[in-house]
Structure 1
Amino acid sequence: MGHNIALNFEDGVTRFINCDASETVADASYRMGINIPLDCRDGACGTCKCRVESGEYDGGSYIEDALTDEEAAEGLALACQMRPRTDLVVGILASSEVCKTRGQSFQARIGSVEKLSDTSIAFTLEGAGPISFLPGQYVNVLVPGTEARRSYSFSSPPGAETQSFLVRDIPHGLMSSFLRGAAPGTPIEFVGPSGSFYLRDARRPLLFLAGGTGLAPFLSMLGRIAAEGSAQPIHLVYGVTNDADLVGVDRLEEYAARIPGFTFATVVAAEASAHPRKGYVTAHIAPEQLHGGEVDIYLCGPPPMVDAVRDWLAAQGVTPANFYYEKFSPSGAVNAIGETHRAAA
């Protein structure tokens, strides 16, 4: 059966390939028509240098001019030499267009639509079958009857027969307006998966910070963790503006019962709230949840939240081992280095 290899390109597109343990990642890529950078195939030029973000592999043989010991220790490898021992996530140092590939297109249909609050809608898609993606990633959904696309993170785990999403309800938003009247069975198309915000191998404690419908990718991550387990403690702080915006708490409670070491707290910003925890998420992060900086922080929320958390960490004198974040905005999608702005409706 071989191993499942996720190829992450610089433009955020992810393609999955199957790679036999006896073949190199480069050979498997070209077999699938994905032309990753490649020249000599002998481990001598370094053209196919890539970053292995998770998984185990045999790095093969090469000369130091192509890959130094320091680079190999940092997780770099040569695709023409490396052979997988497990499933891998590999960062390709080129765009998908350069590699003559693009995101996959899927045909599905609306399964269900549920208005969870004045500001949130949950919907499911059926008919596309199980889809491979990295928990935390998103797809670009074509709004039926238009040429516009909106980007939404999966709230379901990879491999589920039905894909689920949690999105913000915008009063005059194209997708929101469609969903309010969408009937089950309505055809819908989406392309993906995409995004550099996804769950990495848990080598240290995890701190998840979600703002509003930024909870969606964390539900997907927790679904994967519940299925595979984790030896690391995980704490999630979920912040919203008003009491009615707190949705999906039942799923968090379910995961807290299923995942040893997972805890969560909900926070409401509005002064008039009757919620026991009020204010911003940073006011409800305990020092012990930062583990002295030996922690991987994942954050998904609006741009002001991301900036506020970054400033707060600096004020605490804490530099986390890793800080992965995704900014989203209802105004549209804007690409920037190191982050993804996603349309909310």
Structure 2
Amino acid sequence: MTFKTTILPSNHSFPIEADETILDAGLKHGYTLPYSCRNGACGACKGKVLQGSVDHGKSQAHALTDAEKAQGMTLFCCAKPLSDITIECHEVSTVKDIQVKTMPCRVEKMEKVTDDVMVLKLRLPANERLQFLAGQYIDILLKDQKPRSFSLANAPHDDELLELHVRNIAGGAFTTHVFNEMKERDILRIKGPLGTFFLREDSDKPIIFVASGTGFAPVKAIIEHALHIGVKRPMHFYWGVRKQADLYMLDKIKEWEALGIKSTPVVSDEPWSGRSGFVHQAVMEDFSDLSGYDVYACGAPVVVEAAFREFTTQRGLPNESFFSDAFTFAPKI
């Protein structure tokens, strides 16, 4: 049976099945409510039911007391509807709405997808979830060293494991450790989410994504989030790499293409059958006017800086329509 959930004060509404939690249904329809553990233990998703009734589900007594239930409070990660409901909740729309947390995690899976790129999947403790916006990053906290920052490659709706794409950088202490010493089940400490590289959902402009190398990771997260919430804006993804073998996860790109997202891989350092040269120049060749677009650029600083400079000065892109995350690398110390 399907009910209707209305959120105040935004007046957003979405359908919810009788067997869905309020949080899961909200996330499915693109409305991000505050949450943390997602299993009734922490109380971060606590909110008020103004109209209608719910089954409080598996909420734990210390996170939701009987007195709070009597006042109309519930945990959105556990509560399921028994009727149409109206809830009071502040929706998460910007980074300031999300708590930055420090926590341990376990290396669940390691997959070497190219000679110098490792996909890490990290599992958080059983009672923890990391709430984040697609495109944000986390810091790996290392003893007596500077934090190492890596973008999250998974979208928020798919948060059972955190996915990182790690390039093996010459002289990089952490990346050398990842490729030569790290093992599955190793424990790391992380801090996040961080950063302001995320999809601006209030815009209706078509989107151009420009990624170099493992800048693919946060773009992957943003595209998967956009598809999940049903964004209809035209999207074109440009991916610049040095050699063809660097184009990992091409099967994922083919899935996106089948759903209407255009993609243009660009190879700079070897001949091949596709587009060659620098990735930002490929965009310049394809678009004479970017004044009506949003551009999301991520990867090597030289690529991000060249894209910003040339798109704004030569193609009319407004400064405020350029969103970026430039990867810098910490030297081995």
Question: What range is the shorter-chain TM-score in?
Answer: 0.5 to 0.7
Letter in 1 for 2:308: R
Structure 1 residue 227, shift from structure 2 partner: 1.6
Distance 1:90 1:290, change over 3 A: farther
Distance 1:170 1:5, change over 3 A: same
Q: Secondary structure of 1:251's match?
A: helix
Distance 1:292 1:326, change over 3 A: closer
Structure 1 residue 135, shift from structure 2 partner: 0.2
Structure 1 residue 147, shift from structure 2 partner: 4.2
Structure 1 residue 199, shift from structure 2 partner: 1.2
Unaligned runs of 5+ in 2: 1-21, 24-31, 36-42, 51-86
**Could you say which residue in structure 2 is the equivalent of 1:200?**
200
Distance 1:290 1:84 in 2: 46
User: Deviations along 1:113-134, whole A, 9 cap, x unmatched?
Assistant: 1222233221111234542100
Letter in 2 for 1:316: Q
The question of whether the paired residues in 2 share the 8 Å contact of 1:5 and 1:89 is answered with no
Structure 1 residue 4, shift from structure 2 partner: 1.8
User: Deviations along 1:112-163, whole A, 9 cap, x unmatched?
Assistant: 11222233221111234542100000001124x6544211000111142011
- Percent identical residues: 24
- 1:38-49 equivalent positions in 2, closer than 5 A: none
- 1:229-248 equivalent positions in 2, closer than 5 A: 229-248=230-249
- 1:290-301 equivalent positions in 2, closer than 5 A: 292-301=290-299
- 1:147-226 equivalent positions in 2, closer than 5 A: 147-159=145-157, 160-180=159-179, 181-201=181-201, 202-226=203-227
**Could you say which residue in structure 2 is the equivalent of 1:308?**
306
The question of whether the paired residues in 2 share the 8 Å contact of 1:207 and 1:289 is answered with no
Distance 1:290 1:127 in 2: 46
The question of whether the paired residues in 2 share the 8 Å contact of 1:122 and 1:165 is answered with yes
The question of whether the paired residues in 2 share the 8 Å contact of 1:113 and 1:179 is answered with no
Distance 2:89 2:99 in 1: 26
Distance 1:286 1:308 in 2: 11
* Residue 87 of structure 1 pairs with residue 91 of structure 2: yes
Q: Secondary structure of 1:131's match?
A: coil
Q: Secondary structure of 1:208's match?
A: strand
Q: Secondary structure of 1:310's match?
A: helix
The question of whether the paired residues in 1 share the 8 Å contact of 2:197 and 2:325 is answered with yes
**Could you say which residue in structure 1 is the equivalent of 2:277?**
279
Judge which range, 237-246 or 248-257, deviates more: 248-257
Structure 1 residue 90, shift from structure 2 partner: 4.0
**Could you say which residue in structure 2 is the equivalent of 1:42?**
none
Distance 1:169 1:210 in 2: 18
Structure 1 residue 205, shift from structure 2 partner: 0.6
The question of whether the paired residues in 1 share the 8 Å contact of 2:141 and 2:189 is answered with yes
Q: Secondary structure of 2:226's match?
A: helix
Unaligned runs of 5+ in 1: 7-15, 24-82, 333-342
Letter in 1 for 2:216: L
Distance 1:247 1:262 in 2: 17
Distance 2:95 2:120 in 1: 31
Q: Secondary structure of 2:174's match?
A: helix
**Could you say which residue in structure 2 is the equivalent of 1:125?**
122
Q: TM-score, normalised by structure 2?
A: 0.67
Structure 1 residue 269, shift from structure 2 partner: 0.9
The question of whether the paired residues in 1 share the 8 Å contact of 2:95 and 2:196 is answered with no
Q: Secondary structure of 2:327's match?
A: strand
Distance 1:135 1:290 in 2: 29
User: Deviations along 1:281-335, whole A, 9 cap, x unmatched?
Assistant: 1332267757651111100021211221123214434124611011111236xxx
Judge which range, 128-137 or 310-319, deviates more: 310-319
Distance 2:206 2:90 in 1: 23
Q: Secondary structure of 2:276's match?
A: coil
Distance 1:290 1:237 in 2: 16
User: Displaced runs of 4+ in structure 1, greater than 6 A?
Assistant: 83-86
Judge which range, 111-120 or 195-204, deviates more: 111-120
User: Deviations along 1:48-68, whole A, 9 cap, x unmatched?
Assistant: xxxxxxxxxxxxxxxxxxxxx
Q: Secondary structure of 1:224's match?
A: helix
User: Deviations along 1:260-283, whole A, 9 cap, x unmatched?
Assistant: x3111100111x322421001133
Q: Secondary structure of 1:88's match?
A: coil
Distance 1:19 1:299, change over 3 A: farther
**Could you say which residue in structure 2 is the equivalent of 1:65?**
none
The question of whether the paired residues in 1 share the 8 Å contact of 2:211 and 2:298 is answered with yes
Q: Secondary structure of 1:4's match?
A: coil
User: What's the Cα RMSD here?
Assistant: 3.3
**Could you say which residue in structure 2 is the equivalent of 1:73?**
none
**Could you say which residue in structure 1 is the equivalent of 2:101?**
104
Distance 1:295 1:17, change over 3 A: farther
